[in-house]
Amino acid sequence: MPSFTPPRCPNADCPRHTDPQPRFCRRRGSYWPKCRAAPIPRYHCKSCNRSFSRQTFRHDYRDHRPELNESLFLLLTSGVGLRQCSRLLRSGVRCPQQKLAKMGRTLALLRDNLCPRLPSSRVFVMDEEETYEGASIRPLTMPVVIDRETWFVVAVDVGSIRRLARRGTRRRVMQDQEEAKHGRRQDQSRACTERVLRALAAKCPAGDLLLQTDKKSSYATLARRIFGDRLTHETTSSRRVRDRHNPLFPINVTLAMSRDNCGRLRRKSWLVTKCAPRLLDHAQLFAVYRNFVRRRFNHDKENETPGKLLGIVPRNLDAAEVLAWRQDWGDRSIHPMSRSGMQTVRASMVA
């Protein structure tokens, strides 16, 4: 591995955190953790007199089992549940649970850091996928926006929805008992849809764009409010045959792939999510896997991922790269392809 050069001081109160100068730190030995095959170099900041190591900048900072991260990422994006992951990786049950939450935070930031802007005059497709939280009387919605040409997942969100059964049915009785115990269930479908559309607007701040959705009435209202006159909105009936001639074919296939790759989305299954925030974490893993690791179509070349086709990265990334560096420093975060730690996410990397 090339020699690591700290890109900045990790201490947020240090002037070298936002304005790192050449030689702002010096080497201060190393330490050899039990979970590593090589020593970790340490450094000392000359400005704030704080010490830190290369590990401070890594995603697996303070992880107890860092060697499991790559395998867990690939298992979780292959439809395997958390309990089966713990069996295959020979870990405790809480280990993959905690790692999933941490990966979700890092990969959500990674997607935004690598793609702060999208080219103008693009066509985007949006739809909502439905699952439930523990039981079918607690439904959830997951709106997803993708780029039509490359199938790049632009934004995803998760929220609860309230859909009551007919009065007198056994299902309605169960729902009434649930709301009597926990309070009225919130319907967050509109709020989630607005968040993903605003995320799209932040990545396309100017220029015309075309949005394709089904005929749900709230889509037109929200899209017009957020994008104004620069939006062209096309709708397709959700009852239309879902074949290749359907304008919503790319999002239909993407949502089908999400159910295949994320076991939490499989209804009537032991794997169905028990907690909405963890479903959002899992969806972040799927988005990064779909955008930067897996090729767009099976007949494409191996490195032709949606991220490469959009010009965001020069090739596909592997699990070790997407889980390499912390991404909580915005534009100054280290690029996943950087070996030395000197290149930020804004750098032009070479394949």
Q: Kindly list the distances between the CA atom of residue 69 and the CA atoms of 84, 243, 286, 308, 320, in Å, as whole numbers in the listed order.
A: 15, 37, 15, 24, 8
pLDDT at 32: 86
pLDDT score for 2: 61
pLDDT tens digits, one per residue of 8-44:
999 999 999 989 898 999 999 999 887 777 889 999 9
How long a stretch of residues is the chain?
351
Task: Return the CATH architecture of domain 117-274.
Answer: 2-Layer Sandwich (3.30)
Q: Where are the domains of the chain?
A: 1-57, 70-114+291-351, 117-274
Residue type (1 letter), 41: P
pLDDT of residue 1: 52
Phi-psi region of 110 (alpha: psi -120 to 50; beta: other; left: phi over 0): alpha
Q: Which residue ranges in the chain fall short of pLDDT 50?
A: none
Q: Is the dihedral of CA 151, 198, 245, 285 positive or negative?
A: positive
CA dist., res. 188 & res. 168, Å (int): 26
| Closest among 88, 194, 174 to 134, alpha carbons compared | 174
Paired with 125 in beta bridges are 146, 212
Backbone CA torsion sign across 322, 328, 331, 334: negative
The C-alpha R_g of the chain, in whole angstroms, comes to: 22
Nearest 5°: phi and psi at 344?
-90, 175
